[in-house]
Chain A
Amino acid sequence: MEDGNKKMLAYQFKDNLIYKLHPLTSMIFVGVVFVLALIFSHPAFLLGLLIPVGVVLGAAGNLMQGRNYIKFSLIMVLTIVLINVLFSRAGTTIIYRGSEIPLIGALEISLEAILYGLGMGLRLLVIISVFCFYTYTVNPDKALRLCGRLGGKSVLAITLSLRLFPLMIKDFQRISEIQRCRGVKLSTGSLWQRAKNTLPIISIILLSSLERSLQLAESMQARGYGSGPRSSYDRDLWRPRDYIIIALSIIALLLGIWSALKGWSAYRYYPILEEISGLDCVLASFIAIILLLPAILNWGGKKWPL
């Protein structure tokens, strides 16, 4: 069961520093980038988030797996750009003026709308890549164990569900094989016929999993579940690098909030594009360098191993 689960999860352990971080450190890093991406609208600042996340993802060895995420998000970026371009009337630099279209009105494509769409696409890209980082590098069991202290029952249900998942897939395969041996056709015949033959399998899985859930509850009871306050223990190691990364992530967050309050990280697309000042770029690259730290530490650890 353990083995099957490990193979199916998106998380696959790799031997590098980023995978060995304390789960809370990675979660704080992800949280900081996510919040900053939602606060910032300045393209330089958003780029200053995308680059470090991309580099950290590459340092963790997940850039290839991240491709699927990127493919998916590019479709979303495209719809965002398209809708913004077609419907926004706020821009003043008109590139193309077209004919009347029902419902939309006169087609008017402005430079500002295109750039706004791209800017928002950049934001989406940052958010998706940071979640991609989370999915591939944070062990879900460790993350759930951390949350276990906050809530007992709901986290327990999530953990159990994560464990039952591969078991159910095995059940499905086993029952289908048995049905095949009995002459029930599951892979030939018309779609309707196949669906009709799969129907009993689904019901059997439901029945057997419910049966298992009763046994599970009995064994939980036998081990004293709910008989007293919940105990918890922490097996994950806190290393100095965890503290450094957390501290710098929080500094990046504060810097981001500060520049948002000052209005530096905001960018005015409409009615006419704002000029990008040197100060903005310096500040954005400063935040980017701070957030690059996990990748730098990983590189340093490889170059000068202990």
Chain B
Amino acid sequence: MLKLVDKFRSRYALVLIMLILLMVATLIPENPLYNLNWALLSTLLVFVAILVFFWSFERSQVSSKLVAFIATMSALAAVARIAFSAIVSLQPATFIIMICAYVFGPQIGFMVGAISALVSNFFLGQGPWTPWQMLCWGLCGVLASFLAIGQNEFRLGRFTVMAGFLGLFYGWVINLWHWAAFMYPLNIKTFLAVYASSVVFDVIHAIGNMVFSVLFGTTFYHVLKRFKKYI
């Protein structure tokens, strides 16, 4: 069984690597793949990336308690997102995803992030941004979980810095799609212009994250840590 899992995993890794190589190939002039459709390729890449995480979650031995926990935390993050949706980029969801990931590890973190993006969009509206948001928030979870490696208690300082960084990171990844799909020529100038046009929103997101971390970080951590014992 384990061998089979490994086989599948390496197959997915292969698909990912091939897609990335394909994207790189479109950048090199004078080969048949030059200038292939980036908008389509990047969307494909994101879909495959999300599938890899979902698939590895399907394969893992997960108890019903954990499934219920993921659903609960995603719903909480979605509620928090919609409650603040009037202020475009103030999103407490990122903080909730991060703290789940910090306590429960990268896999749960990714699932909570991806599902909360999907579910909140059923209320706010689905769009081409949905897979990108799923991936971004999922990755926020994965990155936040790395902070907890070798830690037995909550480090508010580190966590807050990370929260600020992930606020910026989220906007940066979303911008990448915006740039690849709609800009011409794809060069450093248009790249910087796209990033400059979103800088206000990214900074609001980052500051919001840091404030939420300071306000709720310690409480949430202790609650989740205690809950983890039941699972």
Q: Which residues of B contact A193 (CB under 8 A)?
A: none
- Give the bracket for the number of chain B residues in contact with chain A: 35 or more
When A38-B43, A83-B193 are in contact, do A134 and B126 touch as well, CB less than 8 Å?
yes
A35 to B63, CA, bound (A): 37
**B214 to A: closest C-beta gap in Å:** 11
A201 to B71, CA, bound (A): 20
Q: Does A261 contact B (CB under 8 A)?
A: no
Once the chains bind, are B125 and A131 in contact (CB under 8 Å)? yes
Task: Name the interface residues of A145-172: CB closer than 8 Å to any CB of B.
Answer: 151-154, 156-162, 164-165, 167-169, 172
When A169-B79, A214-B230 are in contact, do A195 and B69 touch as well, CB less than 8 Å?
no
Once the chains bind, are B68 and A214 in contact (CB under 8 Å)? yes
Q: Which residues of B contact A207 (CB under 8 A)?
A: 223
Once the chains bind, are B58 and A213 in contact (CB under 8 Å)? no
When A35-B40, A154-B58, A213-B69 are in contact, do A161 and B75 touch as well, CB less than 8 Å?
yes
Q: Does A197 contact B (CB under 8 A)?
A: no
Q: Which residues of B contact A210 (CB under 8 A)?
A: 69, 72, 223-224, 227
B39 nearest in chain A by CB position: A38
Once the chains bind, are B72 and A221 in contact (CB under 8 Å)? no
Once the chains bind, are A168 and B126 in contact (CB under 8 Å)? no
Q: Does A45 contact B (CB under 8 A)?
A: no
A221 to B58, CA, bound (A): 18
A35 to B37, CA, bound (A): 11
Q: Which residues of A contact B197 (CB under 8 A)?
A: 79, 83
Secondary structure dominating the interface of A: helix
Task: Name the interface residues of A248-280: CB closer than 8 Å to any CB of B.
Answer: 269-270
Task: Name the interface residues of A33-92: CB closer than 8 Å to any CB of B.
Answer: 34-35, 38-39, 68-69, 76, 79-80, 83-84, 86-90
Q: Which residues of B contact A127 (CB under 8 A)?
A: 127-128
Once the chains bind, are A225 and B64 in contact (CB under 8 Å)? yes
Name A154's contact: one of B64, B111, B216, B224 (CB within 8 Å).
Answer: B111
19 more A-B residue pairs beyond the given contacts A104-B189, A168-B76, with a C-beta to C-beta distance below 8 A? A35-B40, A38-B37, A79-B197, A83-B197, A84-B182, A87-B189, A121-B182, A135-B127, A140-B122, A154-B54, A161-B75, A165-B78, A199-B216, A203-B220, A207-B223, A210-B72, A213-B68, A216-B71, A217-B64
**A175 to B: closest C-beta gap in Å:** 13
Q: Does A209 contact B (CB under 8 A)?
A: yes
Q: Which residues of B contact A203 (CB under 8 A)?
A: 216, 219-220, 223
Name A135's contact: one of B40, B126, B220 (CB within 8 Å).
Answer: B126
A110 to B111, CA, bound (A): 46
Give me the interface of B with A, judged by CB distance under 8 Å. 37, 39-40, 43, 54-55, 57-58, 62-65, 67-72, 74-76, 78-79, 83, 111, 115-116, 118-119, 121-128, 130, 178, 181-185, 187, 189-190, 193-194, 197, 215-216, 219-220, 223-224, 227, 230
Once the chains bind, are B219 and A69 in contact (CB under 8 Å)? no
Name A160's contact: one of B71, B183, B187, B223 (CB within 8 Å).
Answer: B71
Once the chains bind, are B54 and A165 in contact (CB under 8 Å)? no
Once the chains bind, are A157 and B111 in contact (CB under 8 Å)? yes
A124 to B215, CA, bound (A): 38
Name A131's contact: one of B70, B122, B126, B220 (CB within 8 Å).
Answer: B126
